[in-house]
Structure 1
Amino acid sequence: MKVSSKILALVVALALPLSAQAHKAWLLPSDTVLSGADPWITVDAAVSNDLFYFNHVPLRLDALTISGPDGQPVSAENSAKGKYRSTFDVHLSEPGTYRIAVVNAGLFASWEENGKPKRWRGNAESFASEVPKHARDLKVSQSAGRIETFVTAGRPNEIALKPTGTGLELVPVTHPNDLFAGEAATFKLLLDGEPAKDLSIEIIPDGIRYRDKQNEMTATSDKDGQFSVTWPSAGRYWLHAEHEDDKTSMPQATQRRASYSATLEVLPQ
């Protein structure tokens, strides 16, 4: 009996873990390690089905922040939003390491109104005016997400890598622009500035569009929030971690979801 390609695709999709089917948000710089005079990079930003391919929606850049080698903010240039991706340029005018991040925070609410389910997403300021005070079966959750990447011009430094103490963050023990195939790298996860222990970390290599599985690697943070990964080959990798608790900073919310994603480039030996 022949099985149609559509049915086969559905069977394969159902067999995959939920993380394999979920959309992935990422920042992809044109280069991560540069030398020479007056360097620039272009960064693509998207939410996609296939990692590092533009096939779903552009990543919004409203909450884009760029920290320069001296820790001061750097402006993005030539920003544009297309159908499937956003793009912007960064002038690396000073030598050292730059941290490029989209940091989002907000509230999600659901309730029942006139027998029908209602949903809302926004910030604390708009919550009071847009969500009924006495909504039936009201459930409110808080989200905090950080999506980032790292770029170094010339000699690397660590000033831009200093954590903010808010949400889920990555603190590199191994510099994020000093990663090589076959070598182990160590990182540390913090939650609100404290070690994030026992968190599951997923690391996925580029190229999933051309294979039938993600080839993901996993790690778990220890009591100090640290974990290590040995890179099997050169290329780009997407690192992701999530955490849920009831430690909200917004009084309306009863649950908090913190997430962290980073694009890292591993160089050949």
Structure 2
Amino acid sequence: MSPVKPLLALALAGFALNAYAHKPWLLPSTTMVESKDAWVTVDAAISEDLFTIDHQPLRLDGVTVTGPDGAKVELKNAMTSRMRSTFDVQMAKAGTYKVALVSQSVMGSYKLNGEMKRFRGTEESLAKDVPAGAEDVKITRTASRLETFVSANSTDDAVLKPTGVGLELVPVTHPNDMRVGEKATWRFLLDGKPAANQAFSLIPGGVRYRGTLGEIRHSTDAKGEISFTLPEAGMYLVTSSWPATPAPAPGQLPPMPPRRATYAATVEVLPQ
């Protein structure tokens, strides 16, 4: 996997449950295509306002598309402009495709000659990020997953199988078959095991036109599952992070755990 750019790593590490931070996202033109020649276009960006192209592009180096047969699918017509990236996905086979950006980063701090230093990089760059003689070294390893799902002519569950690494959403209700007013059931896993009492947030698109964030917050049960009903159709960004961050002391940054896992996905709720 290609090393994640520093600013992208910062966005991926910090997006979950922080509704006002810059958020990375993958936004498909639609999540369900019924056509003999099925294509979708995906926008990829990091923005302050959700699904608004207002900050900078999401680099496509680590983006992968997995088809219903498990094979990797080439990104077509990929390009990166000033504030967004975009690419097409040709869905030659019927079924569900997963578009994902999965990354692992290392960040932390140390003291050198009495001065506090901070760093951000990868496991491979850790040796040079922390120099010899460093003291009071604190390291946090973050596993981040950003994804969306699209289907051509029919849906299936092959790409929904968990990898067992980091924080993952396993939709019991297929993500391309959710409709307003109907109940959806989701399951969150942490390293392949149920993520009990896992908090997550859903933010619907169109914030700039609503004038309010419209954030919805839920938590899973002891089995890592939840059933809920979404009140409106549209595109939503789902975000979650582990572990929960305790409130910082006055005038201080929140303490960083030795390991973090974050998850985000764009899902569409269809009208009835």
Question: TM range, normalised to the smaller chain?
Answer: 0.7 to 0.9
Identity of counterpart residues, as a percentage? 49
Secondary structure at the aligned position of 1:19 is classed as coil
CA contact 2:121–2:129 (8 Å) conserved in 1: no
What is residue 259 of structure 2 aligned with on the other side? 256
What is residue 222 of structure 1 aligned with on the other side? 221
> 2: CA distance between counterparts of 1:208 and 1:223?
32
The two structures have a TM-score, normalised by structure 1, of 0.87
What is residue 253 of structure 2 aligned with on the other side? none
Paired AA for residue 124 in structure 1: E
> 2: CA distance between counterparts of 1:128 and 1:178?
46
Cα drift, residue 254 of structure 1: 6.4
5 Å-filtered alignment, 1:186-197, equals 186-197=185-196
CA contact 2:201–2:239 (8 Å) conserved in 1: yes
What is residue 6 of structure 2 aligned with on the other side? none
What is residue 49 of structure 2 aligned with on the other side? 50
What is residue 33 of structure 1 aligned with on the other side? 32
* Alignment pair present for 1:132 and 2:135: no
Secondary structure at the aligned position of 2:125 is classed as helix
CA contact 1:40–1:89 (8 Å) conserved in 2: yes
What is residue 93 of structure 2 aligned with on the other side? 94
The two structures have a TM-score, normalised by structure 2, of 0.86
Q: Count residues with an aligned counterpart.
A: 245
> 2: CA distance between counterparts of 1:259 and 1:122?
17
Cα drift, residue 149 of structure 1: 0.5
What is residue 248 of structure 2 aligned with on the other side? none
**Structure 2 unaligned blocks of 5 or more:** 1-16, 245-255
> 1: CA distance between counterparts of 2:198 and 2:133?
36
Kindly provide the CA deviation profile for residues 36-56 of structure 1, in whole angstroms up to 9, marking residues without a partner as x.
111111111111110000111
> 1: CA distance between counterparts of 2:215 and 2:228?
12
Paired AA for residue 45 in structure 1: A
Paired AA for residue 120 in structure 1: F
CA contact 1:244–1:255 (8 Å) conserved in 2: no
Cα drift, residue 114 of structure 1: 4.1
> 1: CA distance between counterparts of 2:133 and 2:243?
26
> 2: CA distance between counterparts of 1:77 and 1:216?
33
* Alignment pair present for 1:146 and 2:145: yes
> 1: CA distance between counterparts of 2:178 and 2:138?
43
What is residue 268 of structure 1 aligned with on the other side? 271
Q: Which has the larger radius of gyration?
A: 1
Which deviates more, 163-172 or 211-220? 211-220
Cα drift, residue 73 of structure 1: 1.5
What is residue 23 of structure 1 aligned with on the other side? 22
**Structure 1 unaligned blocks of 5 or more:** 1-17, 246-252
CA contact 1:197–1:225 (8 Å) conserved in 2: yes
> 1: CA distance between counterparts of 2:71 and 2:184?
27
CA contact 1:219–1:228 (8 Å) conserved in 2: no
The 4+ residue runs of structure 1 with deviation greater than 4 A are none
> 1: CA distance between counterparts of 2:238 and 2:87?
22
